[in-house]
Chain A
Amino acid sequence: MNRLIPIIQYRDLLLISIQIEISDRIVHQLKNDIADTIRIKDVRGVIIEVSGVDLIDSYIACAIRDIGQICKLMGVHTLLVGLDPGMAITLVEMGMEMQGVDTALNIDHAVNILDSYEKDEQVNLNDEIDEDPFDDVLHKLVT
């Protein structure tokens, strides 16, 4: 079956912009497509842009949460972007919880957030290098 929602790779990000009224079938397919694409391509973040969606009901919310959790298990961050205020209010009033999915106001913010995750990881990497015993040897040699 052909993909109805395009999954676009931009550098090391996957951009998914949903601009149609989505039925359950499409949501289900999207979930599988994203998981497959992450496995094949080398990405560090998934951005799901939902400004064109007509509504987010419990099934779609659940699917987005699932996508977030699937991606997390595969080591990729997911960000939900462009949520309409009316939809946000509806989600809150219905009492839906969206654990595991970070949100951002727009794609710029989303990219910044993903960059900051990347930096955090690099800092961790540097910390490990500092503790490398080779440094001490080098230090002694120099002095």
Chain B
Amino acid sequence: MSPQMARATDTFNQLCSALSDAVGTITAQSICKRALSQAGLSSSTLNRQQVDVKLIEDIEYRLRIFCQDEKKISQVRTQLLRVVENVYIHPNYRKPREPAKTSTYGKLCGILSEALGTIMARSICKIALMESEITPAMLDDKGIDSVLLNNIKKSLRGHCRDEEKISLVHRKLQELIWSKVSDEAQIDDLTIDIIYEDDIVTARRQARILAQSLGFEHTDQIKISTAVSEVGRNIINYAGQGRIHLSRYKGKQNGIRIEAKDEGPGIDNLNKILAGRFRSRTGLGLGILGCKRLMDEFSIEAEAGKGTRITMVKYL
């Protein structure tokens, strides 16, 4: 037997022995063989080809036919991913599809390894990717979406109890998403003309999309779009027309910046409004005050006759 052959059977055997935790040896072997032939591989070429996530998924799918014990299945899954790890770090075969360290996947693993061991970090990444149906190679183009992020956070919580480390990882993940977003300059900066009433809806939808891509949580997304809706309505009701500028805010803390500008009559009873003693005809008189309460930073320039300018910032 050639040495390569021997190594090939190594990987195959590793897969089989991982499976034999849940089912008998013979069943394990036949599952592996069928999965391989389905993927167009043979046990001898297994080592030269990368063991990809699809193969693992296929094996798991076949395993489910024979074994209904979820606990065992998840054990096997971890084992299988460990086998994949071994193949990945095998010196001869790591080159072709091993993601570079600078890739999003590499960074993701690096961040997770702050809280866990390297192998554990990688397997969490892989499981999360598998569950969100993304391959490591796709990650660079697609970016980290909220589904994947939630999957990672969920499985991180399952493996790590240290709250401090978890929050550190969460923060770093956010930063990673952030740096990803900053590469895509086109959604960084957005101006929406507010001329008709329906433009308010457009503005708040855009604000929400931007907030989501910047990594704001669901509740904050709603707060941001609500604030945009309020300032948009002020423009329509009191100035007739104006514009809203949405942009990414970079300071001590990252966030989103909303600027609403119009050339209307300005606001003459500003103090009364900010003190909460004002009732408008149409709303609850909470437009501006509500925005102030929802946002982290709020400033308003509204000299009578010179137009209004509201600037708001919400931190991430």
Do A58 and B197 contact each other (CB < 8 Å), given the known contacts A85-B219, A87-B222, A90-B219?
A: no
Minimum CB–CB distance for B267 against chain A, Å:
16
Interface string of B213-249 (1 = CB under 8 A from A): 0000011011101100110010000000000000000
- Return A66 CB to nearest CB of chain B, in Å: 10
A96 sits at the interface (CB 8 A): yes
Q: Is B230 a contact partner of A58 (Cβ separation < 8 A)?
A: yes
Docked-complex contact B221 and A24, CB < 8 angstroms? no
Specify the chain A residue showing the minimal Cβ separation from B286: A58
16 A-B contacts, Cβ less than 8 Å apart? A21-B201, A54-B205, A54-B225, A55-B208, A55-B226, A55-B229, A57-B230, A58-B230, A58-B284, A58-B285, A89-B219, A89-B223, A94-B226, A94-B294, A95-B293, A96-B284
Residue of B198, B204, B284, B293 near A55 (CB, 8 A) is B204
Interface string of A70-92 (1 = CB under 8 A from B): 00000000000000111101100
Q: Is A117 an interface residue (CB 8 A)?
A: no
Which 10 residue pairs across A and B have the least CB separation, nearest first? A94-B290, A86-B219, A86-B222, A57-B229, A58-B283, A58-B286, A57-B226, A59-B283, A55-B226, A58-B284
Q: Does A61 contact B (CB under 8 A)?
A: yes
The CA of A93 and the CA of B208, in the complex, are separated in Å by 18
Is the Cβ of A94 less than 8 Å from the Cβ of B286?
yes
Q: How far is the CA of A54 from the CA of B289 in the complex (A)?
A: 21
A58 x B198 contact (CB < 8 A)? no
Q: Which chain A positions have C-beta within 8 A of B260?
A: none
| Residues on the B chain within 8 Å of A94, using CB | 226, 286, 289-290, 293-294
Of chain B, the residue at the smallest CB distance from A22 is: B201
Asked if A62 is at the interface of the complex by the 8 Å CB criterion, the answer is yes
Taking CB atoms and an 8 Å cut-off, the chain A residues in 13-43 that contact chain B are: 21-25
Nearest opposing residue in chain A for B198, CB measure = A23
Q: Check if A101 is an interface residue, CB within 8 A of chain B.
A: no
B24 within 8 A of A: no
Q: Interface residue tally of chain B, by bracket?
A: 20 to 34
Give me the interface of B with A, judged by CB distance under 8 Å. Answer: 197-198, 200-201, 204-205, 208, 218-219, 221-223, 225-226, 229-230, 233, 276, 282-287, 289-290, 293-294
A111 contacts the other chain (Cβ, under 8 Å)? no
Q: With contacts defined as CB atoms under 8 Å apart, how many contacts are there between chain A and chain B in the complex?
A: 79
Residues of A in contact with B (beta carbons under 8 Å apart) = 21-25, 54-59, 61-62, 84-87, 89-90, 93-97
Q: Is the CB of B284 within 8 A of A61?
A: yes
Residues of A within 8 A of B287 (CB): 58
Indicate if the CB atoms of B222 and A90 lie closer than 8 Å.
yes
- The reply to whether A59 and B221 contact each other, CB–CB distance below 8 Å, is no
> Would you call B197 and A24 a contact (CB within 8 A)?
yes
Interface centre among A23, A25, A55, A85 (most CB of B within 10 A): A55
Known: A55-B222, A62-B284. A96 touches B290 (CB 8 A): yes
Rounded to whole Å, the gap between the CB of A80 and the closest CB of chain B is 16
For A59, the closest partner residue in chain B by CB is B283
Bound Cα distance from A56 to B225, whole angstroms: 10
Please, how many angstroms separate the alpha-carbon atoms of A21 and B201 in the complex? 7
- List chain B residues, Cβ under 8 A from A22: 201
When distances are taken between beta carbons in the complex, the residues of chain A under 8 Å from B200 are: 23-24
Q: How far is the CB of B114 from chain A (nearest CB, A)?
A: 29
Chain B: minimal CB distance from A93 (Å)? 5
**A62-B284, A93-B294 given; A25·B197 CB < 8 A:** yes
- Closest residue to B230 on the A side, CB-wise? A57
Contacts of B204 in A (CB 8 A): 21, 54-55
Asked if B201 and A86 sit within 8 Å, CB to CB, the answer is no
A-chain residues with CB within 8 Å of residue B283 when the two chains form the complex: 58-59, 62
A55-B225, A93-B223, A95-B286 known; A23 vs B197 contact (CB < 8 Å): yes
